[in-house]
Chain A
Amino acid sequence: MRCLPFIEMQFIGFKEKDMDPGALATYTPTLVRYILVALGLGIVMYLVYRVQIRFGVNGEAATGRALVTPWVIGFAVFSLFPIGASLYLSFTEYNLFKAPEWVGFDNYNELFSVDFATLESREQRSSDALERRYGEIIRVEIGDGGFVIGAKEDAFWRSIKLTLPYAFISVPLGLIASLGVALLLNQKIRGLSFWRVLYYLPAVLPAIATALLWRWIFAPQSGLLNNAFAPVYRLLEIETPRWFTDPNLAMPAFIIISLWGVFGANSVILLAGLKGIPPELYEAADIDGAGNWAKFRNITIPMLSPALFYNLVVSTIGALQVFDVAAFIQTPESVGTFLNWLIYQEAFNFRRMGVASAMGWILLILILGLTMLIFRSSQAWVFYQGTREEATT
């Protein structure tokens, strides 16, 4: 069970060297190093070119390789090495102060320690039914008893319980909604660019600004939403919903926030896809006497499927990594928080680098698995015009 406070420790306990030396003194060293790194990179690129020429590589290939050198170095240092290091760290216990200590699969074992217990009565507390150190993740009450599932790392499981269903619901809903917006914008309307600019607006706003804004809109008292719907609540005689503090309403509220963003990038891409469908296809269908639904089903969707596929992949990867929203909207412990934010907290607030790395790897596997699944399924439903080989890369 977690007993550490939620409030972050990062702002507390400054060291002498963290004192503010003034704006200029903080910008200048970084600027100098920036320029030095840029120059160094240029020299390295030139050397990569020279060495290849020395070994008899032709000029074109040598230039090409020299040009991509920055990315290769960056990939090795800032991606490949960290990925490997994080795999190593996931098998250690590490708190930044002592050297990492190899613990084998302990972190993963802890994460996957799950306990199942039956409840003897409805009144019995989950913590009494479960083994010591296990926290409740799911509690089901049936008749007089029921059962409860607990885990050692209950916060992790609660975050999975929040993140996965959130992705499974918000991604398809978002895709349908953005397709709806794209279809709407594809009608013969005046001022298309005006509407497009308007609808894309939520996507350019800083996610943290909108996260705070939505928390305020969803505020139980005097929030915009509850204020606007107060007459409806009274009419239906329901209690004023407490959104993010209500375990049953937190996820729907998060999904509403995510839907607000779909007016953005997804719709713009789908709209471009719609505009790219040759009108002859529809004309031919008209001659065959196809109805609107048949045209939508047999022309629009197949022609749009590459764009839908792209959106599906990108949205799924994004939905599994909600961070900014989670940082600004606290939920009660029973709801948990999004996995990405939990990993951040474990690593940088609680200094459990090993456990955080193990969670990171589980997140990576989740993302890879789901992406693979979408790629696999794409052969069945994504239709590429002409250049199949090129499109699959």
Chain B
Amino acid sequence: MTSQTRSATTDHQVESIQQPRSHVRQFIVYGLLLLGGALVLIPLAWMVSTSLKTDAQLFLPGINLIPNPAMPQNYIDVWAKLSSIAPGMTFWRIMGNTLFITILAMIGEIFSASLVAYGFSRFVWKGRDTLFAVMLATVMLPGIIQRVPNFLIWKELGLLNTYDPLTWPSLFAWGPLYVFLMRQFFLSIPREIEEAAIMDGANVAQIYWYIMLPLIRPILLAIAVLSFQGNWNNFQGPLIYLTTPQFFPLSVAMQFFERSLSIEVPQWQYMMSLATMMALPILVIYFLAQKQFIEGINVGGVKG
């Protein structure tokens, strides 16, 4: 009782001084937002800034965010350095490798995840929910535990040091998360739509292609974006399966540079230019497709 009256009075006080208080509040909120924004951006600015520095500028005392003179040349030199130890390891080759792996894996992931999610959501069959639970449980399996036997499988198939282990297994819906996201989306589509199509004599393939795919386009885009990012950033897979430097995607090329040319004296300007080159396409896609990114994560977050 007493506590209620007390809070009632404070509420009254709050109302009477609301004007200045809300200003202070706004001030604090925007102050914190700016601080957080700075914490996000400063490391990134440092990455780009470092990538444009000369050797000497790296070790100047104090903080020099804007290098003078700027060295965009680093972005070309780093490839010359890589080519000097592994001939043919050029920018175009490594970018091509990265895109080749990323796009093939992405297509496989989108295509298979949408089919599997379709089967898990729009059809009734015995054992469906058990199997789906098993699929979700596989999220808990640490990837590394499967790496050793998988490595042996690819070794037996004679496909080590090829792009096979990184590309076509995606056709088997290797990302349970994407299936889960798509299933959530499929479940929200009213059943009448399908029934009307069946009445018109459409078969499953037609329903999937002409009715379902257009309806799930938002989530397809979201998954395309997430999958592109995931495969572009993938490091563990290519690290294990690829051995020839010319075959490397950007991620492993970066490690190759670090372990071969930068081992004694870290050449931060070159490593940061590689890091910038790796981050840039993702950033561009992110800014173009931010809605899809955020959507994709949100659907995943709804009900664990």
Residues of chain A whose beta carbon lies under 8 Å from any beta carbon of chain B: 7-8, 10-11, 14, 17-20, 22-23, 26-27, 29-31, 33-34, 37-38, 41, 60-68, 70-75, 77-79, 81-83, 85-86, 89, 96, 181, 184-185, 187, 189, 193, 195-202, 204-210, 212-214, 216-217, 219, 221-222, 224, 227-228, 260, 263, 265, 268-269, 272-273, 288-291, 306-307, 309-311, 313, 317, 320-321, 323-324, 327-328, 340, 343-344, 347-348, 353, 356-357, 360-361, 363-364, 367-368, 371, 384, 390-391, 393
Contacts and interface: CB of A to CB of B under 8 A. Distances in A.
A67 B167 contact: no
Interface stretch (B74-82, B213-221, B233-241): B233-241
A197 to B, nearest CB: 5
B131 interface: yes
A208 B251 contact: yes
B interface, over-half SS: helix
B139 to A, nearest CB: 7
A289 B298 contact: no
Given A78-B169, A85-B149, A260 B304 contact: no
12 contacts: A18-B243, A19-B244, A30-B168, A34-B168, A63-B204, A70-B173, A81-B149, A83-B149, A199-B40, A216-B268, A384-B303, A390-B303
Nearest to A31: B104
A78 B146 contact: yes
Contact of B162 (A19, A29, A37, A391): A29
B168 to A, nearest CB: 4
Nearest to A68: B119
Contacts of B303: 306, 310, 384, 390-391
B300 interface: yes
B133 interface: yes
Contact of B172 (A71, A290, A317, A348): A71
Given A206-B233, A307-B301, A33 B279 contact: no
Contact of A26 (B50, B173, B247): B247
Contact of A212 (B30, B112, B138, B271): B271
A11 B297 contact: no
Contacts of A209: 47, 254, 274-276, 278-279
Given A363-B142, A363-B144, A390-B303, A60 B124 contact: yes
Given A83-B146, A209-B278, 20 more contacts: A8-B259, A18-B243, A22-B88, A64-B124, A68-B115, A70-B172, A75-B138, A82-B146, A82-B149, A184-B32, A198-B41, A201-B286, A206-B278, A222-B59, A224-B46, A263-B39, A291-B7, A311-B301, A313-B304, A384-B303
Interface string B93-122: 100110010001000100010011011101
B144 to A, nearest CB: 5
Which among A33, A67, A393 has the highest number of chain B CB atoms within 10 Å? A67
B119 A66 contact: yes
B304 A217 contact: no
Interface string B1-17: 00010011011000000
Contacts, number: 340
A interface, over-half SS: helix
A344 B147 contact: yes
A85 B154 CA distance: 14
B44 A60 contact: no
Interface in B32-53: 32-33, 36-37, 39-44, 46-47, 50
A67 B117 CA distance: 8
Contacts of B251: 206, 208
B258 A212 contact: yes
Nearest to B92: A23
A313 B150 CA distance: 26
Given A63-B123, A74-B173, A268-B298, A360 B275 contact: no
Interface string B119-145: 110111110110111111011111111
Contacts of B124: 60-61, 64
Contacts of B37: 195, 198-199
B287 A197 contact: yes
B71 interface: no
B144 A340 contact: yes
Given A199-B40, A269-B298, A317 B140 contact: yes
Interface string B268-304: 1001101110110011001100100110011011111
B61 interface: yes
Nearest to B163: A30
Contacts of B136: 393
B119 A64 contact: yes
B227 interface: no
Contacts of A363: 142, 144-145
B29 A189 contact: yes
Nearest to A313: B304
Given A68-B116, A75-B138, A221 B59 contact: yes
Given A38-B171, A272-B298, A306-B304, A89 B149 contact: yes
B58 interface: yes
Given A216-B271, A265-B297, A20 B282 contact: no
B232 to A, nearest CB: 7
B256 interface: yes
Nearest to A321: B142
A200 B171 CA distance: 29
A213 B125 contact: no
Contacts of A77: 153, 172
